[in-house]
A and B are shown apart, each in its own frame.
Chain A
Amino acid sequence: MRKLSTRRRHPLAGFVVLLMGLVVAGGMYAAFAPKPATAEEASARDIEAGRQLFLIGCSSCHGKNAEGIQTKRDGNYGPTLVGVGAAAVDFQVGTGRMPLANSGPQAPRKDPEYTAEETRQVSAYIASLAPGPAIPADEYLDTESVSAEGLAEGGEFFRTNCTACHNSVGAGGALPSGRYAPTLKGVDAKHIYEAMTTGPQQMPVFADTTITPEEKRNVIAYIKKIQSQPEYGGMAGGGHGPVVDGLFTWVIGIGGLVGFAIWIGAHGARVKK
């Protein structure tokens, strides 16, 4: 308690108390506020709510009617979102890539700025503009029920279509000009699915017509499996392969053994004469 009483007079103490109050109040509100309408009622009300959110948060780049904004030199300031579908919005906003914090080679994944409910409303609004890839149904995200054959098949699709960019354990990889294929670690099954159907940023589209929803589910099951299974052989270098093995060889292996050699060659304690 002594600690608390000495810090009570700290110049920042007031702010801390204020902050704690706000957090408590916010939490209470979240806990007791009326629950929103259920998903089935994704209705005119959601679309309208989504449109309002869009106008505030997105329209400055994507245009008031999501028609996109062209720059003078025929570039895209923000691309049109007509026809990208609910899946694209759910992926971009749900993984925090949109809204974009600052321009760079590509939009990084970060903590989402919109709640799940708000994301759903914006998705509903964009989906209402023109048909496009929808948010996947739960049955295609249920990776637990995938059979052994399905898992193996998912692996074959994964190695054929995904590992070239995302690496064999989904650790990510380099692309030209500072762009990269992001890691797949900790990505929701839903977002992986949506990335395949919508092709965000430089990623190509793997539509349901070429890789079926069941095949996609198998791919996701394989990704989840290899990322949740044990690292059988011990500490792994993050899936980065022989480069990290080489680093361990020199730093730990040679470092340790040269240490032993130095000990063997050292003179040791002597009696003072």
Chain B
Amino acid sequence: MTDLIEGPDTSEPIKNPGLQEHQERPQDVDPKAADRTERQISAMFGLATLLMLGFCVAYVMIDKDQTFLGWSAMNFTLGSTLGGALLLMGVGIIQWAKKLMGDHEIIEMRHPVASSTEDREAVLKDLNQGIKESAIGRRPLIRNSLLGAMGALGLPAIILLGDMGPLPHGQRNTVWKKGMRVVNDVSGTPIKPSDLEVGSLVNAEPAIMYETDEHGEHVLHGKELLQAKSKAAVIVVRMRPEDVTPAKGRENWGIDGILCYSKICTHVGCPISLYEQQTHHVLCPCHQSTFDLADNGKVIFGPAHRALPQLPLAVDSEGYLIAVSDFPHIVGPSYPELARDQKKLDKKS
């Protein structure tokens, strides 16, 4: 077998000993062993057939509410019969290949991956003839105008996507308005300052989300509702007034230690309500940005950069919490025009 090796290679310290002698399997020398293996494999295929029949029986017989070991009996039975059957088939086929099919290793010679020089030259010759006959070199006007048209073809392809969405607009506003009540999320009930004791947290929304028109239909629903929620959701917390250190100009944004902040993280926008009532910290469960609500929503840990926007609060004539205005700072994850939009908001206020 050493004739496989190409000439004497003096740099190789050990010669390639060549393909080793074939070793027989028990099935090759003992017909009884081979028959045993055949029976073993056929038993696997037979069992697989039974399991698939079992699958069909289970599909018809098992009620979808039945449980087994605290799991869905249907899912368990269908899955284990199907899985078992397929596994047995696979194992049987592989066992057949391993034990009974011929197992003499054979050698195939590799051919160079690259084309031969003749092939290269022949193709080059044909190409040249083709290019020559097309006269593309002699008529640059055709070539250049075609290239121009090809390039222009990209324009309709791109412009056609123009209606995938509107141009960005309205990112700096939310549905909060002066005088809009702060209401409990889910139930929609308005909130009085006296409802909140120190340490309280209320997951709240602007009242417009629960308003109905004259037909009893919700003013906001479907897409509009979700879009409004994804910017306007807030958390209302109450802490001891002496714990709050309002920044300049924010002294009257809270009421007796009741403060309202955006629930949308300024990092990538997860709703954030993991509020710790003793430390006044709120943590985002997605990327662990942590904000200090006693200190104007300042970031104290994590990847978020901007403070959590605060909503200035007041009390209306009936004694319920209302917003004084929309958020003075932009809510939600940053976007390129944010710096510009924030300046516009600052100018307005």
Contact present for B199 and A199 (CB under 8 Å): yes
User: Does A157 count as interface, using CB distance less than 8 angstroms?
Assistant: yes
CB-contact partner of A176 in B79, B184, B281, under 8 A: B281
With A210-B200, A210-B202, A269-B26 already in contact, the answer to whether A175 and B186 are too (CB < 8 A) is no
A205 contacts across to B, CB distance below 8 A: 197-201, 277
B70 contacts across to A, CB distance below 8 A: 230-231
Expressed in whole angstroms, the minimum distance between the Cβ of B258 and any Cβ of chain A is: 12
Expressed in whole angstroms, the minimum distance between the Cβ of A86 and any Cβ of chain B is: 16
Contact present for A268 and B71 (CB under 8 Å): no
A-side interface residues, number (CB < 8 Å) = 38
By DSSP majority rule, is chain B's interface helix, strand, loop, or mixed?
mixed
Q: A204, A209, A232 — which one has the most chain B CB atoms within 10 A of its CB?
A: A204
CB neighbors of B among A224-259 (8 A): 230-235
Taken together as a complex, chains A and B put the C-alpha atoms of A273 and B23 apart, in Å, by: 8
A5 contacts across to B, CB distance below 8 A: none
Taken together as a complex, chains A and B put the C-alpha atoms of A207 and B98 apart, in Å, by: 70
Taken together as a complex, chains A and B put the C-alpha atoms of A201 and B277 apart, in Å, by: 8
CB-contact partner of B186 in A157, A165, A207, A270, under 8 A: A157
CB-contact partner of B199 in A165, A204, A264, under 8 A: A204
Contact present for B28 and A271 (CB under 8 Å): yes
B94 contacts across to A, CB distance below 8 A: 263-264
By DSSP majority rule, is chain A's interface helix, strand, loop, or mixed?
loop
Contact present for B200 and A204 (CB under 8 Å): yes
Taken together as a complex, chains A and B put the C-alpha atoms of A69 and B251 apart, in Å, by: 32
Residue of B nearest to A181 (CB): B274
B34 contacts across to A, CB distance below 8 A: none
User: Does A103 count as interface, using CB distance less than 8 angstroms?
Assistant: no
Expressed in whole angstroms, the minimum distance between the Cβ of A224 and any Cβ of chain B is: 15
B301 contacts across to A, CB distance below 8 A: 176
Contact present for B71 and A234 (CB under 8 Å): yes
B29 contacts across to A, CB distance below 8 A: 271
User: Does A164 count as interface, using CB distance less than 8 angstroms?
Assistant: yes
A264 contacts across to B, CB distance below 8 A: 94, 98
Can you list, as one digit per residue, whether each of A170-214 has a CB less than 8 Å from chain B (1) or not (0)? Answer: 000101100101000000000000000001011111110111100
User: Does A118 count as interface, using CB distance less than 8 angstroms?
Assistant: no
Residue of A nearest to B23 (CB): A270
CB neighbors of A among B180-225 (8 A): 184-187, 189, 191-192, 194-203
| A residues with CB within 8 A of B | 153, 156-157, 160-161, 164-165, 173, 175-176, 179, 181, 199, 201-207, 209-212, 215, 230-235, 263-264, 268-271, 273
- Known: A207-B196, A263-B94; 5 extra A-B contacts, CB below 8 A, are A164-B273, A176-B279, A204-B200, A230-B67, A233-B75
A-B contact pairs, 6 of them (CB 8 A): A157-B186, A165-B285, A176-B279, A176-B288, A204-B275, A205-B197
